[in-house]
Structure 1
């Protein structure tokens, strides 16, 4: 009996270690409920990675199909609140307004059911798209012809590599996805897609430069903006209460949750009256000793008001820049962010955000400087005004349309 218990305990520990505390615990509980023990199941690598073995096919169409530009977007399945999918659907929506026809293909099935159900979810939680939505199962077969096939993640790049009913193939790259994994198979699978010969359209200059220099990809880039009807300066209700906003996503390692809470704990020892507002994930399963408000996943319509109640924000990103810094600045909340070309490409003069090294003490000092008014953050807000006023997602969608025509003509 003891050996069985010890074996199951070790299995549970391995699951939690590999999947993280929250997801791993849920997996363990699910297995216990199902069989009252942690079952030993075989993982099917061949089924899970079947798309890696799809045939490599060159685009077979030589000429544009008509005056109206047509796109096939190959996307992974999505959850409500997915920032990457929000950006994809936003661009599709804005391109539709510019006369570009798009269809969406969800690779590997969808948790939302059939195509009609998926389209309703997209319309309810993202944007009301005109696009047709198709769900691709293990049998990859698309007979419709398009001007451009668009990969949107490393997994979908393998589908696009095998798709030949198009004139050109494009890779819509929002982050350097190999960094999502430790060096190994998944890292390599993701990295190989940058060698497929697709034209890159990247979210920002850091990705454009990296993919061009490291993989020889031909790339164009668009910049970030924010929804101006959602994010705007708002009055702080409790002006005597000092708050720090922290973008908290423990399952997303690139957002530096552990570094953030270590730094915030030291900061709060010096400033015990300050409340930390944590949003992006439910962190109730974590031991958090300092004064905080666990906002969890917040509706988009409520974010700007939440940001405006904070004196400063801490945004950590170890891959591409998050969309949050511009949204926070537009709401009147200055941003402390970790140093790196991945984050400062949008702020080349480095006079909009407060930059820190990946160091607890530096983060504490920067937050302390702002909260205790030892720096004039209005200078930062003034510096950001031109960027905020002149940017728009409509402008960025126009750039992407121009790139697509350029790629088709090349």
Structure 2
């Protein structure tokens, strides 16, 4: 009964927040995702038909013109998708700062009604772009595209198979934000994802960890961009109740690489010994979980509300077992120091190892780090001071400039 009540409440909230038409499409999409394994077993050939698309090499000879034309191939998305936020950020800034024109192709079915709705959603919830939008609701439609581009860019392992089959371009690239084979246990999906790094695309990677991994293990020619944050949004806000001790925990139970179980166990131990501590849990609705400590279930928070939420916390626990997320810099800019699990996948952004607090991925080590930060106010403030110069110097425009120069270099490569 409890599960039924929880699911019914989620359905009501979706319909209330999204409206009847889009709400029903979202619910349908979630149901289909929930039954994906059944669908795969029944018709593997249909589900994975994009993998069998015939490879086509680039057919168009690059001619330097008034602008660079790029085709971005992306998976479907929902409002709040961090990976898509970065994709649309780069589309927007390449258009704004350089002579670049982009078109965007959704690979597979989409929850959005049509291309007009797609454009409206992107402009409202992500970034305004001048891009045209197209929906490839069957893989074979890749062969029906009647436009030519200087560059075709894949943005996920599934879309890489579409780009491999697309020949109406001069070069092909791969916008890689994480090592996607790690999203799966060793098996078919792991193999499908890993194989895309052998497609001989140029790599545009989020950070040096991915650049080195793809270059060393798969021979990809890569350029990396670093992370920044939106300086108009993320700023330190007034702390309303400084006498309270509060921990922010990025909580994503359905995303294994975010270490929800480890974080929850570690926080349970810490809060048992420090019962006055409150934990702010954001990133997902965790109301269906038994949480044995004082907490706020913030769920999925609007971007414009995040800086205030972060500013009310003394420290953040962010766990990531693949590539670093964008959250640490956004938290630091909001005055909240960050504890994160150690590893080159997370520390690549921190050359001097003084931006973040690194912990082993154990409950005891996490508790030691929490004790160190929360029991020493001077140490907490020093972490924020250490980050100020880095935060001041970083910008998304600088990172997009690196990517633009790399695009020009691969197009002009003989």
Residues 351-366 of structure 1 mapped to structure 2, 5 A cutoff: 351-366=354-369
Counterpart of 2:16 in structure 1 is none
The offset of 1:253, in angstroms, is 0.6
Counterpart of 1:118 in structure 2 is 118
2:379 counterpart of 1:376: yes
Task: Give SS of 2:232's match.
Answer: coil
Contact 1:107 1:136 in 2 (8 A): yes
Counterpart of 2:45 in structure 1 is 46
The offset of 1:64, in angstroms, is 2.7
2:232 counterpart of 1:229: yes
Taking the aligned partners of 2:246 and 2:126, their CA distance within structure 1 comes to 30
Contact 1:77 1:109 in 2 (8 A): yes
User: CA 1:233–1:362 in 2, change beyond 3 Å: closer, same or farther?
Assistant: same
Q: Which moved more, 1:287-296 or 1:90-99?
A: 90-99
User: CA 1:407–1:243 in 2, change beyond 3 Å: closer, same or farther?
Assistant: same
Q: Which moved more, 1:150-159 or 1:374-383?
A: 374-383
Task: Give SS of 2:42's match.
Answer: coil
Task: Give SS of 1:117's match.
Answer: helix
Counterpart of 1:172 in structure 2 is 175
Taking the aligned partners of 2:165 and 2:239, their CA distance within structure 1 comes to 53
Q: Which runs of 5+ in 2 are unaligned?
A: 1-26
User: CA 1:408–1:377 in 2, change beyond 3 Å: closer, same or farther?
Assistant: same
2:73 counterpart of 1:71: no
The offset of 1:374, in angstroms, is 6.8
Counterpart of 1:10 in structure 2 is none
The offset of 1:65, in angstroms, is 5.7
Match among 198, 201, 208 for residue 198 of structure 1: 201
Counterpart of 1:3 in structure 2 is none
The offset of 1:157, in angstroms, is 0.3
Taking the aligned partners of 1:392 and 1:41, their CA distance within structure 2 comes to 43
TM-score by length of structure 2 reads: 0.89
Taking the aligned partners of 1:90 and 1:40, their CA distance within structure 2 comes to 34
User: CA 1:365–1:86 in 2, change beyond 3 Å: closer, same or farther?
Assistant: same
* Alignment deviations for residues 78-132 of structure 1 (CA, whole Å, 9 cap, x no partner): 0111100000001101111022100000001211021111111111211111100
Contact 1:65 1:146 in 2 (8 A): no
2:349 counterpart of 1:350: no
2:61 counterpart of 1:62: yes
User: CA 1:291–1:187 in 2, change beyond 3 Å: closer, same or farther?
Assistant: same
Contact 1:105 1:135 in 2 (8 A): yes
The offset of 1:220, in angstroms, is 0.4
Counterpart of 2:109 in structure 1 is 109
Task: Give SS of 2:223's match.
Answer: strand
Match among 296, 320, 329 for residue 293 of structure 1: 296
Residues 69-148 of structure 1 mapped to structure 2, 5 A cutoff: 69-98=68-97, 99-138=99-138, 139-140=140-141, 141-148=144-151
Contact 2:40 2:47 in 1 (8 A): no
The count of residues paired between Structure 1 and Structure 2 equals 378
Contact 1:233 1:308 in 2 (8 A): yes
Residues 3-18 of structure 1 mapped to structure 2, 5 A cutoff: none
Task: Give SS of 2:352's match.
Answer: coil
Contact 1:369 1:375 in 2 (8 A): no
Taking the aligned partners of 1:317 and 1:375, their CA distance within structure 2 comes to 27
* Alignment deviations for residues 323-342 of structure 1 (CA, whole Å, 9 cap, x no partner): 00000000000000000000
Counterpart of 2:271 in structure 1 is 268
Q: Which moved more, 1:198-207 or 1:113-122?
A: 113-122
Contact 2:68 2:100 in 1 (8 A): yes
Taking the aligned partners of 2:189 and 2:398, their CA distance within structure 1 comes to 35
Residues 382-393 of structure 1 mapped to structure 2, 5 A cutoff: 382-393=385-396
The offset of 1:43, in angstroms, is 2.4
Which runs of 4 or more aligned residues in structure 1 lie more than 4 Å from their structure 2 counterparts after TM superposition?
Answer: 39-42
Q: Which moved more, 1:305-314 or 1:119-128?
A: 119-128
Counterpart of 1:9 in structure 2 is none
The offset of 1:41, in angstroms, is 9.8
Taking the aligned partners of 1:90 and 1:278, their CA distance within structure 2 comes to 27
Contact 2:62 2:412 in 1 (8 A): no
